[in-house]
Chain A
Amino acid sequence: MMWLIAGALIWALGWFVNVRLAALPKSRTTSLLVPLIFGLTLVFIWESVVWGLQIQQVLLPAPSVIAARFAASTSILWQDWVQTVVKGMMSGYIIGCIAAFGMALAVDRFPFLQRGLLPVGNFAAALPVIGMAPILVMWFGFDWHSKAAVVVVMIFFPILVNTVQGLQASDAMQRDLMRTYAAGYWKTLLKLRLPAALPFIFNGLKIATTLALIGAIVAEFFGSPIRGMGFRISTSVGQLALDLVWAEIVVAAITGSAFYGAMALLERKWTFWHPSQRN
């Protein structure tokens, strides 16, 4: 009971502080502090509900238990992280980006391909591509190669569609100007059209970060060597070691956010001229 009252109090306090902070003029500190306080109160409520209602740790471990488990099993988590993220996800992400990018340049060069491939690409982007995972695992074996292949298949069309759209972003006036400078195809591409396409490309890259992580983890449900985040999650669920599962989820969440954040940072650095970045 004490726990529940404490939880309610913390919630009220956190919300009160946030209301006061939100009423202040918007600044960098408030826009960082408000969500942080909100998140912390949520974690605390979780903790107090678990202890207050005496929920079994097998069903929903308290955040403190998860943190303890996280600290105790860093070596397992690290090993899984290397297998899934570094080997599976990153290699797939790089291959997929290069393939989609090359394809986008070809599509852009030939209008016939553009009219034919883009509808198919848009269609494919809406499909449950993750279903390809068992087939790719069958083709490329249980190790990280099949995970990279799943990632490639998942991110290919979102990046392709966005890049093609971006390459059309420069307007006719600008292209005419390049022509008056006697710039050829490649020069126009490098100096005008690629920079103009960057906001769209980054949009695709950002969507692809989460897709890549999901693909790499879910592919491991269909078979993997005895390490990897997806493998650990599916086997630990079987053993009802939910604290370890949650620790893996924390790792995945941090990885996903960091990857997304890195892309967003790169975007801010390279497309500082775009209206959406200038506020």
Chain B
Amino acid sequence: MRQSLIPVLTVVVAIITLWYAAAVWLNAPWAYDKAQRAGVELSVSDMVVDTWSQKKPKLPAPHQVTREIWKTTVKKKITSKRSLIYHSWITLSATLLGFALGTALGISLAVGIVYNRTMDMSVMPWVITSQTIPILAVAPMIIVVLNAVGIQGLLPKAIISMYLSFFPVVVGVVKGLRSPDHMQLDQMRTWHASSTQTFWRLRLPSSMPYLFTSLKIAMAAAIVGAIVGELPTGAVAGLGARLLAGSYYGQTIQIWSALLMAAALAATLVALIGLIQRIVLKRMGMAQ
């Protein structure tokens, strides 16, 4: 852990440096344009300062984005529509609901697939095919149709998140429930365990490591689903709406701050699952 700290920091610093350099490169034409119209000769240092402080830059510098995030999280009231926390909460609630639905659907499908041969043969290929369909493309339609039926707000977005997140859970849990080897299954049989007992005492516990790995993937997918689900609703609220509104009005700083917020949200949630995984596996005596 410690030995990878310096390389990681180096890479992060390199990325930030590249970011500043790219900001100069991308924003310079506009800076020169402005100077020419004002009839001023621009020195290099003035140009660099200008590229890092434009109002609608092509690529905002990191400190501009940080300032915007600070302004819209700490300094705004949480209930305000311009608060980034308010928008994050909207996205987060849809993500969590979709994640819960997706996990429930995924686990029940996986149990059915493991215990029913017909279901295994008929459903499993379609579960895999369902992921080659770009569901995000369908997102606008799902939202509009559910809206017409009278279902609004959280649920349509959550359904898109659910569709994206159930797949990794199905695949992971099926693999996990099948992970006990013959020896262990035979042992259960010599104890005359019923199939319910085998499920609760052997199959389910041994599927836990697989479950948590897929939950992490599912969570990342659920956030993507919630963000894309917010696009077609006409940019009302949520991080996706901030992205869309920002791209309509050329507010690049707003886009970047929403993007970084989404990244932070994703990283936090995935890390949270990782933490739960560590605790649960440790208590079950399965920690590596």
Contacts and interface: CB of A to CB of B under 8 A. Distances in A.
A19 B121 CA distance: 10
9 contacts: A21-B121, A115-B7, A119-B4, A128-B223, A131-B243, A139-B58, A210-B132, A245-B141, A257-B129
Given A115-B7, A120-B12, A139-B58, A134 B122 contact: no
A245 B228 CA distance: 17
Closest 4 CB pairs of A and B: A116-B7, A134-B247, A38-B122, A256-B132
Given A128-B263, A252-B137, A234 B258 contact: no
Interface residues of B, number: 62
A103 interface: no
Given A39-B126, A213-B134, A256-B134, A126 B267 contact: yes
A77 B125 CA distance: 27
B140 A127 contact: no
Nearest to A125: B220
Nearest to B219: A126
A30 B122 CA distance: 10
Interface string A214-233: 10011001110000011001
Contacts of B220: 126-128
Contacts of B7: 112-117
Interface in A1-57: 15, 18-19, 21-23, 30-31, 34-35, 37-39
Given A18-B118, A31-B121, A117 B137 contact: no
A59 B148 contact: yes
Contact of B144 (A112, A115, A132, A237): A237
B148 A230 contact: no
Given A38-B126, A126-B216, A237-B232, 20 more contacts: A18-B121, A31-B121, A35-B122, A35-B123, A35-B125, A112-B7, A116-B10, A117-B11, A120-B12, A128-B227, A134-B244, A135-B255, A135-B259, A138-B250, A214-B136, A218-B136, A237-B141, A242-B145, A253-B132, A256-B132
Contacts of A21: 121
A15 B118 CA distance: 8
B246 A134 contact: yes
A131 to B, nearest CB: 5
| Main secondary structure on B side of the interface with A | helix
A94 interface: no
A237 B231 CA distance: 13
Interface residues of A, number: 61
Interface of A: 15, 18-19, 21-23, 30-31, 34-35, 37-39, 58-60, 112-117, 119-120, 123, 126-128, 130-132, 134-135, 137-139, 209-210, 213-214, 217-218, 221-223, 229-230, 233-234, 237, 240, 242, 245, 248-249, 252-253, 256-257, 259-260
Contact of A34 (B122, B252, B258): B122
A99 B6 CA distance: 25
Contacts of A130: 136, 224, 227-228
B79 interface: no
Contacts of A37: 122
Nearest to B225: A128
Interface string B210-232: 00000011001001100110011
Contacts of A139: 26, 58
Nearest to A218: B136
